[in-house]
Amino acid sequence: MRFLLNIGNSNTQVARELACGGLELTAILPTSQIERLGCVDFLEQETENWQAVAACVVPSVQKKLQNRYPGKILFLSAASYPDIDFSFYDIQTLGADRIANAAAARALKIGAVLVVDCGTCITTEAIDGNGVFRGGAILPGRTMLRRSLAAFTAQLPEIPLTEECPLPLGKTTVQAIAAGVDLGVIGAVREIIAKTKQEPALAHCRVIVIGGDAAYFVANISELEPGTPHFTLQGIRLAKG
């Protein structure tokens, strides 16, 4: 039995690999819980005959899991995908989730792809039609921007996420924060897409959006295509090694 772990800053997805080549999502856990316990509850219930592949962006969690399950979990890296050329990027600083996204995009076999992953952070991963990873961008997600405003000011509150696109002229502080953050990130993502498409190898790339906040961006940026379910986990499943 092989499990797939997508260990993010906020949450961790646990999936079971199926014999047909697909996967079944079995649990979503707070990553803070895994760090506190030093283990994955779901895996504790399994027999000894299991292995796992993980994309982890929290080094302290990775270290604890390596200590808890020595030899049981493969933590993926760029070397896990020999069919992708990562030579354009400093792979020592490349997050495992972004590597998995590039692999999942490559597996679609639709030519050049730009993945927009909307979670705690918004990241983009660009891979051209020849399987060359061209890089991407990282910026704060909507929740992170809200928390930053509340954390670094004396009077601005942290406001909840909504799916509704705000009006540009807020009549209250809450409305003004929503306008600045939610319209601002739409503008940022649009600009990143436009600049990415100025690169010759990516001029006609498809733009796929994934992540927990994907629905907001799909509703407000017309050229975005929703990714397949469990997109990052599908990339993790393709890891070699």
Is 97 among the residues known to form the active site?
yes
Instruction: List CB contacts of 118: < 8 A, sequence separation 6 or more.
Output: 141, 209, 210, 211, 212, 213, 214, 216, 217
Cα torsion 157, 162, 166, 171 to 10°: value is -40
Among 122, 106, 67, 73, which Cα is nearest to 231's? 106
Q: Which of 41, 97, 182, 213 is catalytic?
A: 97
Q: Show the tokens assigned to 41.
A: 């509850």
Task: Return d(Cα 96, Cα 55) in angstroms, integer.
Answer: 5
In whole angstroms, give the CA distance from residue 232 to residue 17. 13
Cα–Cα distances in Å, from 208 out to 27, 82, 124, 212, 222? 24, 23, 10, 14, 11
7 φ/ψ angles, rounded to the nearest 5 degrees: -95, 100
| HSE-up of residue 70 (Cα within 13 Å, Cβ side) | 1
Other residues' Cβ atoms within 10 Å of the Cβ of residue 160: 9
Whole-angstrom distance, CA of residue 80 vs CA of residue 158: 40
User: Could you list the active site residues?
Assistant: 97
